Amino acid sequence: MNLSATDCLLIIDMQNDFLPGGALEVKEGDQIIPGLNELAGRFEHVILTQDWHPAGHISFASTHHLRAFADTVEASYGTQTLWPDHCIQGTRGAELHSALDVPHAEMILRKGFRKEIDSYSAFLENDGATPTGLAGYLRERGLRRLFFGGVAYDFCVGFSAIAAAELGFEAIVLEDLTRAVSLPGTVDGTNEAFSRGGIERISSGSIS
């Protein structure tokens, strides 16, 4: 697969709290950093995303005095999975990992900063209606084919790729450069959504 000037690499949420040792670590998430760095160097256009939650965020189990992973709450936009406190604004856990080396990244998009709504997708809040502005940015720049890596495959990477396809972009997920949280059924559900949405899954090695 050859790259073009209208391609963009989106590196999703490579933050300390999502990597080994973090509050919501994704197993082996740190192992994809060298590959992301190498691949990013071949893209003219790269965008990074950051989860950026206020304290007391609706997605935190502690906010509701409930259990992370085990409990859910009903939000105005549907069922909300509860997580450990993570990626709190201004903390080390919210920082991008120091080994991520993408100096030419054109944008760092912050999401999840509204206290009463979570945001897995880089394009839309979890209500499915509130935009982040990323789609407009990409369209104004003439960027049409989007490649996704980072964490987590079955949440923020997956939701971002699905939203991109629904918004009319060509979405491609780099299977070797992402890792999953792997809650019950989440990986299978993501794979099925990719198939329904026409989202291609490839290895970064197939990009020339």
Structural domains in the chain?
7-54+86-206 (3.40.50.850)
Q: Which amino acid is at 93?
A: G
N- to C-terminal Cα separation, the chain = 6
Q: Give the residue numbers marked as catalytic.
A: 13, 111, 156
Q: C-alpha distances in angstroms, 172 versus 9, 23, 84, 103, 190?
A: 10, 28, 29, 23, 13
Instruction: Kindly report whether the global pTM for this prediction surpasses the value 0.95.
Output: yes
Per-residue pLDDT of the chain (208 residues; tens, 9 = 90+): 999 999 999 999 999 999 999 999 999 999 999 999 999 999 999 999 999 999 999 999 999 999 999 999 999 999 999 999 999 999 999 999 999 999 999 999 999 999 999 999 999 999 999 999 999 999 999 999 999 999 999 999 999 999 999 999 999 999 999 999 999 999 999 999 999 999 999 999 999 8
Position 76 scores a pLDDT of 94
